[in-house]
Amino acid sequence: MKTFGQYWAGVAGDLFSQALAGEPQFAEAAHEPFRGNAFGFDASLAGDQQGRFSVVLDGSILDTPLMGEGVDQKAGWTELLRETINAACGEFLAQTGSKCRLTRFEPSIDAIDAGGEFSRSYQLRSGERSWTILTEDEIRAASGTQPGAGGAAAAQGAGAGNGPSTGSGVGSGGLGSEMGSKSGQKQSSTQSPAQSPAQSPALTPGLDLLLDVELEATLRFGSREMLLGEVLELGPGDVVQLDRYITDTVDLLVGDKIVARGDVVLVNGNFGLRVTEVAQPKKRLESIRCLF
Whether 196 and 92 map to the same domain: the answer is no
Whether 21 and 141 map to the same domain: the answer is yes
Whether the pLDDT of residue 183 is over 50: the answer is no
Whether 191 and 136 map to the same domain: the answer is no
* More confidently predicted of 237 and 46: 46
Report the CATH number at residue 113: 3.40.1550.10
Q: What mean pLDDT value characterizes the chain?
A: 75
Angstrom distance (rounded) from CA 68 to CA 92: 30
Whether 36 and 116 map to the same domain: the answer is yes
Choose the final residue of a domain: 123, 149, 175: 149
Whether 87 and 28 map to the same domain: the answer is yes
Write out pLDDT tens, residues 33-88.
888 788 999 999 999 999 999 999 999 999 999 988 888 999 999 999 999 998 89
Range of the structural domain that residue 13 is part of: 4-149
pTM attached to this predicted model: 0.55
Choose the final residue of a domain: 125, 149, 173: 149
Give 124's contacts (C-beta < 8 A, 6+ positions apart). Answer: 16, 24, 25, 26, 61, 130, 131, 133
Angstrom distance (rounded) from CA 39 to CA 80: 14
At 260, the amino acid letter reads A
Whether 76 and 136 map to the same domain: the answer is yes
According to DSSP, the residues that pair with 130 across neighbouring strands are: 125
At 241, the amino acid letter reads Q
Report the CATH number at residue 251: 2.30.330.10
Whether 225 and 277 map to the same domain: the answer is yes
Whether 162 and 142 map to the same domain: the answer is no
Whether the pLDDT of residue 162 is over 50: the answer is no
Whether 143 and 207 map to the same domain: the answer is no
Whether 175 and 101 map to the same domain: the answer is no
Task: Report the domain count for the chain.
Answer: 2
Write out pLDDT tens, residues 247-289.
788 888 887 778 888 888 877 777 888 888 887 665 555 555 4
Choose the final residue of a domain: 149, 177, 206: 149
* More confidently predicted of 162 and 116: 116
Whether 79 and 108 map to the same domain: the answer is yes
Whether 195 and 68 map to the same domain: the answer is no
